[in-house]
Each structure stands twice: as C-alpha cells, then as structure tokens.
Structure 1
C-alpha cells in the first residue's frame, strides 16, 4: 500500500470516528441519576489505571477530590492524584483544580469547565446516569508539554459510585486510556 493510500485511509478513519461520537442524551432516564452538583459535592476518593495504546497498564493511582458549590451554581473541584510509576517508588503527586459555571446551550443546561492545564474551557453535559466532557489537556512541565485530546465519560453505577473512562488521542490517533472509580466518602475517610 502506498503512503498516499495509507494517509487517505487514516484520514477517512479519523473523520468517520469523529462523526460517530456518542451523545450524552443516550443515557437519558437511566438511574441512578448523575447530577454533577450533587455527586461532586464534598469528599471523594478515586482509584484507577492509565493504559497505553496497546491496553497495557503503565501507571496506577489514587486520588482525593473535594467539590463545593455556591448559591449561583458555580463549583470548584480540587483534585490531588498520587501516581505510582515504579514498584516501591514514592508516588508522584499531581494536582488539578476545575471550576464550573452554569451555561445554557441549544441542547439545554450545561457547565462550562476550566482548569489550569486545560487551555480552552469545555462543556460538561449530563443526562440520566452519564456525564460527558471533551477537552484538550496540556500535560507535562512548562517548556516540555504535550497536548492530548481527552474524551471523558462518567457513569453512576450505584449511589455514590461513578465509573470514569477517558480515551486519550493525539492527531486523531488513540494513544491511551484512563479507567477509574470514584466514590463519595465521609470527610473522616482516608482515601490512600
């Protein structure tokens, strides 16, 4: 197969994949309902893995999240991740702070979501037991970063328990995946 033919097939695959994206409304009516202002309020624990494009787990992590909301419906979610890259090594700590503001779109109510390592604000949409966000994550240290497209899906599978799958891509090509479980916990609970 020639390089020109290979590039045409690759471009077609990327276009088809982008056209077939799932809409969050497919989950409308599914229970238990996942409402961001309720689930992301208070303390949460998360545990997960990062997989490379072949599916191999290359990192695992624990996280502590704190969410809060004001009377205007604006929210903050503080995330502290502890990544374990090498057996026996100390964890690598990474933080992110999301801010949320309510907005009205043609599809209905959504939240505009912003974070320091997300160069452009994105929309968080939800229906039934699902939340969807699609955004660019600028990962790495200043002067040595990579922009990854994140296609983020969350599903509440039981009261206070959410499964999160994030597909990562670069230039339209799949490069990895993050799988994690988040659960609401009392303030006194230790996540680590």
Structure 2
C-alpha cells in the first residue's frame, strides 16, 4: 500500500507539472492583519506547556494523516526553545526542537534539525507568517519542500495554524493545526 501511495505522489507531481506549473504562492501579505486583535506575540503564547491536534491533507483536500502534539516552550531574553513531540494516527512518532530568535518589530527567525537554513517569520496583529524549507520524511524517503506557514491567534489560549507544503512551486499538501495553552 505504501508503495502505491509513493507511486501516486510522484505521478501527481509530474501530472501537475505537465499542467503548467500552477502557482501556489499566497497573495495575502501579513501586513494586511495589522491592527487585528488579539495581538500574536510568540514569546507570550509559546511559553510553558501546550498541546495541539492536526490533520494533513493531500492536494485534493483528502485527509491523509491525523496527529497530536505535546509542546514545551521557554524563553531566555529574545531566544526561545519550543520542544515538539508528535504522535501520528499510524503510531509514528517524531520530535522537533525549534530555536527561535525574536528580532523585534514582530520579526522572528528559527532553526530546527529538519529545517534547511533558517525559517523567517513576521507577525502583524493577530497573524504570523513563517516561510522555510524542510527535509520532509515520507515513507522512509526525504523530500525537500517549502512551507508557507500561517498562525492566527484566535484568543489568548488558541492558535489556528495553516501550512501549505510546496514542491517545485506547486502546493502538494496542507497541514491544519489547532494549538492550545
């Protein structure tokens, strides 16, 4: 079954390329959320223990994975560490440790073991947009993908996180995550 899924994923990417490299870049800018409330400040929200639940959808919108995340976050001045422990519906587990730097004016950078280079983020009002490259493990193989990652602070205790996963300029999947304090 996994071989069939892998074959399907590769052929879908090729078919989409054949259709003319559809653009998946967001046309919304984070500044459009300036003045919206509550204001998202990573140092305030990501502090202490958090939990999250999410789904992964393929390019057609079909849910292909569900997962839960336990997080612990702390800050020393302008540097934060967010430990994430993922448990997927198929039993797979994963750990990611983010090191975040607050640069001021709502700007952030971040690194983690599977992130290529440095993630760059900008917050404005209740929104934050992260953009980064990742080595994404799927069925024992690693794929170099881009993430266009948006967080929206709904209330003091809830963030809704939406990420587009992009390969060769084409959105191949999306992740939706609800994070709660």
Q: String of CA shifts for 1:67-104, please: whole Å, max 9, x gaps.
A: 11002x1111100010013xxxxx21111111012336
Q: Pick from 20, 23, 34: which aligns with 1:10? A: 20
Q: Quick check: 1:28 aligned with 2:34?
A: yes
Q: Quick check: 1:68 aligned with 2:78?
A: no
Match of 2:120 in 1: 123
| TM-score, normalised via structure 2 length | 0.84
Inter-partner Cα distance in structure 1 for 2:141 and 2:163: 23
| TM-score, normalised via structure 1 length | 0.79
* Change in CA separation of 1:53 and 1:70 when aligned onto 2, cut-off 3 Å: same
Q: Which runs of 4+ in 1 moved over 4 A?
A: 6-9
Three-state SS of the structure 1 residue aligned to 2:20 is helix
| Structure 1: gaps (5+ residues) | 1-5, 86-90, 185-192
Match of 1:52 in 2: 58
Inter-partner Cα distance in structure 2 for 1:80 and 1:43: 12
Q: Pick from 70, 78, 98: which aligns with 2:83? A: 78
Inter-partner Cα distance in structure 2 for 1:40 and 1:31: 17
Inter-partner Cα distance in structure 2 for 1:51 and 1:32: 28
Q: String of CA shifts for 1:162-192, please: whole Å, max 9, x gaps.
A: 10100111001111110110001xxxxxxxx
1:8 Cα deviation after fit: 9.4
Matches within 5 A, 1:1-192: 10-11=20-21, 13-14=22-23, 17-18=24-25, 21-71=27-77, 73-85=78-90, 91-103=91-103, 108-140=105-137, 144-184=141-181
Inter-partner Cα distance in structure 2 for 1:61 and 1:9: 32
Inter-partner Cα distance in structure 2 for 1:51 and 1:115: 23
1:27 Cα deviation after fit: 0.7
Q: Is contact 2:106–2:124 with CA below 8 Å preserved after alignment?
A: no
Three-state SS of the structure 1 residue aligned to 2:93 is strand
1:9 Cα deviation after fit: 7.0
Q: Which has the larger radius of gyration?
A: 1
